Chains A and B, each alone.
Chain A
Amino acid sequence: MNSKLILVNIVRWFVLLLFQILLLRNLSFYNMATPFVYVLFLLLLPFGIPNLLLYLIAFITGLTLDAFYDTLGVHTAACVMLAFVRISFIAVTVNRDGFDEPEPTLGNMGFKWFLFYAVLCVFSHHIVLFFLETFRLTEFSYTLLRSLTSSIFTLFVVILIEFIFYNRKAR
């Protein structure tokens, strides 16, 4: 059971990162919205994962993305931010002692919970990402608009993937 979970996550890491680097990196909607769907990997990590391990995984994932985007540190900080929001959100909404389900997928947790979870995580990730990338406050409103439109784009793809792959077994 446990080793299966690890294997699934490793495969998911490779698939989502390759998807991001090879395909989505070249995709942009009028240069306003750019999707960063690889965050789905961090969203779907199992509930029982220790905090330190989660941060390390987020850090390494961000660093890998940075290497391919030539933006050292930007994705790393954004992923760590996402990990923090994820931990806080799960601590507030999910019963700490008995996790019924191993993973926070849409099929396991229901549409309403997952949407709220994904919105918070993706938006905080994108805000950090775009502001660190721009690295100046003079383009504040434009950067905010860009992160907002990109969040909507990313969320759309994330929810779509969830509906395709995970909904079946639960309902």
Chain B
Amino acid sequence: MRNLWIFISRYNAFFFFIIFFSLGIFLTIKNNAYQRSVTVNSTNKVVGDVYNNLNVLKKYINLGTVNDSLAAENAKLKTTILAMQHVDTAKDVLVKDTAGVPQYTYLSARVIKNSITNRNNFITINKGKADGLAEGMPVISPGRGVVGSIKDVSEHLATIQSLLHKNTYISVSVKNTKAFGSMVWGENNFDYRKAQIKEIPNHFKLKLKDTIITSMYSKYPLGTLVGVVSNPGISQGENFKTVEVTLFNDFSSLQYVYVIKNKFAKEQEELEAKLPNEQ
């Protein structure tokens, strides 16, 4: 027993290493596998405050670009309203919408932390549980399309699992065709402007500059913009091919995002939970 003790204290560096290193690995695995319950991340109060204050300067510098994108979106919305008013002049048709409320409602939030240089990137925004956010809600940027989905919420902050993350798969389709596949980022290409679409059936002929939108199987509203095809066929298997896409979204200058609340998300989830789990 005494010899054992001497042995341990002689090589204490190694034993401490084993203890602390396995603790680190344990944290990593836990973080990868589940939603995190420990808030040692940027939804934490202290960490969030640091980023919040730091962002004031950055916000000011990017004011011009943000203004432009908001103005562009305003113009687009105005056109939509005009189009709607035109339809309304047919007064003898009274439309009684039984749903009464739109399926999707949008909530704007400011980005207070963003990263694009890691393998797995996260974004932190300044809205949280108090504003009605919940895990899994999709996030888009004004006029430019898909950003990611909410991973964690605290009272006034939330983290978004960005599109630039190894676990983000988004079901997308090619506009005006029925081809669809799943989009991933970062397989041998860590350029934040490019993503790849896998599992597009070979018989669909894609062209350069074809527009990519979200498909009806994703949790984003159907037709949310994603990007344009920049390389139609970087690899080809027997049945499926992989396509490279240039994203509309510039993740390096993200300032404001919209969180989308789907009125039927919970209903759909509950309904699908009743299906027998046979996969």
- A-side interface residues toward B, CB under 8 Å? 21-22, 25-28, 31-32, 34, 51-52, 55, 58-59, 62-63, 66-74, 76-81, 83-84, 87-88, 91, 130, 132-136, 139, 142, 146
Contact = CB atoms under 8 A, between A and B. Distances in A.
A73 B116 CA distance: 19
A72 B117 contact: no
Sorted nearest first, the 3 A-B pairs with minimum C-beta distance are: A73-B27, A77-B24, A73-B28
Interface of B: 12-14, 16-17, 19-21, 23-32, 36, 38, 40-42, 44, 47, 50, 54, 115-120, 122, 124, 159, 166, 187-188, 190-192
A134 B119 contact: yes
Contact of B117 (A25, A74, A77): A25
A73 B115 contact: no
B191 to A, nearest CB: 6
Contacts of B120: 71, 133
Contacts of A51: 12-13, 16
B118 to A, nearest CB: 7
Nearest to A24: B117
B165 to A, nearest CB: 10
A78 B23 CA distance: 11
Contacts of B119: 130, 133-134
Contact of A132 (B28, B42, B50): B28
11 contacts: A52-B16, A63-B40, A67-B40, A67-B47, A68-B50, A70-B124, A72-B31, A72-B36, A77-B27, A135-B32, A142-B188
A65 to B, nearest CB: 11
A90 B212 CA distance: 56
Contacts of A80: 17, 20-21, 23-24
A80 B23 CA distance: 10
A72 B41 contact: yes
Nearest to A50: B12
A146 B119 CA distance: 10
Contacts of A21: 50
Nearest to B44: A67
B17 A74 contact: no
Nearest to A59: B20
Given A67-B41, A70-B122, A72-B27, A77 B21 contact: yes
B187 A83 contact: no
A73 B25 contact: yes
B122 A72 contact: no
Contacts of B122: 70
